[in-house]
Every structure is written in C-alpha cells, then in structure tokens.
Amino acid sequence: MCAAFCASSRADVTGAGEAGVDHIVDGLACRVVKGTHSGKGGTVQDRQTSKSGHVTITVRQANGVCFKTLARNVVPA
C-alpha cells in the first residue's frame, strides 16, 4: 500500500518545478540573498532538479570554495 501511495503522491509534484528559477543557468554569476549562505556569491556550476521539483545549484566562489543551495535563494549578480 505504501508503494502505491508514494508513487501517486510523487506523480503529483513531478515536473512541477520551482517558479522563477529558469534564469539560473550554469556559468551565471550569482549572489545568494536568502538561506544559510546569504551574502555569498560566485558562479553557478551545477543545476539539478530533485524528484520533488526543487532546483539545487552548486556555487563556486572566487576563492575556490563550493557550496550547494536552492536556486530560489539566488539572484543574478
């Protein structure tokens, strides 16, 4: 029963995506405005969409340090 419920609930959100993050692409200079990494900035290196539709990105700072954050927390620099 759980497998059937999980499959049906996942189907409802698959492909839903996050509104307003289509402009966040690899190579974009960005600045984090919300969340744990707010105030940091760098270049978007990796964009992934989870099964639940949340878009995550990896940001590489100028000093080489990388961190992951949600794309909705980022604006172009």
Structural domains in the chain, CATH included, are 2-76 (2.30.30.30)
Tens of pLDDT along 41-67? 999 999 999 999 999 999 999 999 999
pLDDT at 3 over 70: no
* CA quadruple 27, 31, 35, 39: dihedral, nearest 10: 140
Sheet holding 41-49, edge to edge: 66-70, 55-60, 41-49, 29-32, 74-76
pTM, 2 dp:
0.74
Which residue bears the tokens 């927390």?
Answer: 73
Say how far residue 66 (Cα) sits from the centre of its chain: 14
